[in-house]
């Protein structure tokens, strides 16, 4: 089974969801691309060049059907920060390509219904869900890079890939969760699975209040232990999550490396990587979650930041990656005049294996008081959490 591509999620109160959708479109949508509104429950389908008209359509019919979908064009932010020859127009003219993006929004009433598809009954994904309509456009699995006369290096190629992916991943998540200063979105995340799964098993999370960083652990526990969907519980108050965890039997544990027929390639590789570690690294105990909820948020954040430090392999690859990006930028700005470029396939098993063995992590304390954790979508945040909890002495054997 192929991976579904990154899917971004956000949780906010129902009264704010259309405002959140509007803010995301304002932050991310390209004005030179049309928008298409779909509201299947009300049999509404409209294509327009006006964002105001698209939003008016959504507001007019949202409570009727309880769902709305807006397709639009967006520019990958890394295309503006970096310069790649294969992302410019004829004769290396200044042209930044765009990708097609889907943005969906649901009411609570819509969530409570049972919906049928070819895969059986399912719940909507989100309160708000956003995704590139073609995952390969977001992953940039092929890039033209200027190597000059230096040796090829798989490690440097992966480092370049992560530099680029990090920019796009962070920008898309924050455009959905924190596009303005309203603070309406309490939490969100990004996953390479088909559904919003346990936050510690995703590739990125956002919390509007950094003091609630332990929410990721509590939501993961309740989701895996009580089988509640993350969509329904992600934003409930932290004290209520604490009560749910505390109500579980003493000594209860949940497995982080989930199995199942809908598991993706990335999740299978994560399971293999964790299986090679100690037994407790593959599961999370009730007692660990309770101790983390009682711990100082600043201590948790400090431990996560320390655990996110790049390992020796990443430090060794960084200088060469910097050289390649700088040389590629100069080549592109010079209109293609310079050293030859090599088309690099970044989707090979060897590239994936390096990422799985050396997952990169990002811990970003945000100006709005929030915090974002991220890794490459082929990886999981669980190794970061496991290291941080172990360093604090919170992980049970």
Tens of pLDDT, residue by residue over 335-383, are: 666 667 778 887 889 998 999 899 999 999 999 999 999 999 999 999 9
| pLDDT 10s digits, 271-285 | 434 433 444 468 999
Question: What pLDDT, in 10s, does the model give residues 31-72?
Answer: 989 999 999 878 889 999 999 999 999 999 888 878 899 999
The distance of Cα 103 from the centroid of its chain, to the nearest Å, equals: 14
Q: 104 has which bridge partners?
A: 69, 129
Report d(CA 296, CA 203) in Å as an integer: 24
Give the separation between CA 142 and CA 294, rounded to whole angstroms: 45
Residue 29 is given by DSSP the state: B
List the chain domain ranges. Answer: 7-310+349-391
Is there a contact between 363 and 371 (Cβ–Cβ < 8 Å)? yes
Category of 76 on φ-ψ map: left (φ > 0), alpha (ψ -120 to 50) or beta: beta
Is residue 385 within 8 A of residue 216, CB to CB? The reply is yes
Kind plus residue range of the DSSP H or E element containing 208: none
- Mean pLDDT is lowest, of 133-137, 252-256, 387-391, for 133-137
Helices 238-246, 286-294: inter-axial angle, 10-degree rounding:
150
H/E run at residue 23:
helix 17-28
């Amino acid at each position: 089974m192929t991976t579904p591509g990154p899917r971004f999620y956000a949780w906010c109160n129902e009264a704010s969801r259309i405002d959140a959708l509007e803010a995301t479109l304002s932050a991310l949508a390209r004005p030179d691309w049309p928008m298409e509104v779909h509201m299947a429950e009300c049999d509404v389908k409209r294509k327009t060049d006006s964002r105001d008209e698209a939003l008016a359509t959504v507001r007019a019919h949202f409570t009727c059907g309880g769902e709305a979908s807006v397709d639009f064009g967006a520019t990958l932010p890394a295309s503006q920060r970096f310069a790649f020859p294969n992302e410019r127009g004829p004769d290396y003219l200044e042209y930044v390509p765009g990708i097609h993006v889907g943005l969906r929004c649901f009411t609570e009433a819509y969530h409570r219904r049972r919906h049928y598809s070819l895969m059986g009954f399912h719940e909507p994904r989100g309160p708000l869900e956003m995704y590139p309509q073609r995952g390969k456009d977001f992953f940039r699995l092929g890039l033209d890079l200027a190597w000059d006369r230096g040796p090829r290096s798989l490690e440097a190629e992966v480092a370049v890939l992560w530099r680029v992916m990090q920019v796009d991943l962070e920008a898309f998540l924050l455009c959905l969760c924190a596009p303005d200063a309203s603070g309406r979105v309490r939490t969100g995340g990004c996953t390479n699975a088909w559904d919003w799964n346990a936050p510690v098993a995703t590739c990125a999370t956002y919390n509007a209040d950094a003091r609630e960083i332990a929410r990721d652990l509590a939501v993961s526990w309740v989701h895996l232990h009580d089988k509640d969907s993350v969509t329904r519980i992600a934003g409930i108050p932290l004290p209520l999550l604490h009560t749910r965890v505390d109500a579980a039997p003493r000594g209860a544990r949940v497995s982080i490396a989930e199995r199942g027929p809908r598991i993706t390639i990335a999740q299978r590789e994560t399971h293999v990587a964790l299986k090679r570690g100690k037994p407790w690294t593959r599961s999370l105990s009730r007692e660990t979650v309770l101790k983390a909820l009682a711990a100082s948020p600043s201590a948790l954040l400090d431990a996560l930041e320390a655990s996110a430090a790049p390992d020796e392999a990443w430090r060794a690859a960084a200088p060469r990656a910097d050289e390649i990006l700088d040389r590629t930028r100069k080549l592109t700005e010079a209109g293609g005049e310079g050293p030859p470029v090599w088309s690099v396939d970044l989707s090979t098993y060897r590239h994936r294996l390096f990422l799985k063995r050396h997952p990169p992590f990002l811990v970003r304390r945000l100006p709005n008081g929030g915090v974002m954790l991220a890794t490459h979508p082929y990886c999981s945040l669980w190794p970061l959490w496991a290291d941080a909890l172990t360093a604090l002495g919170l992980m049970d054997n």
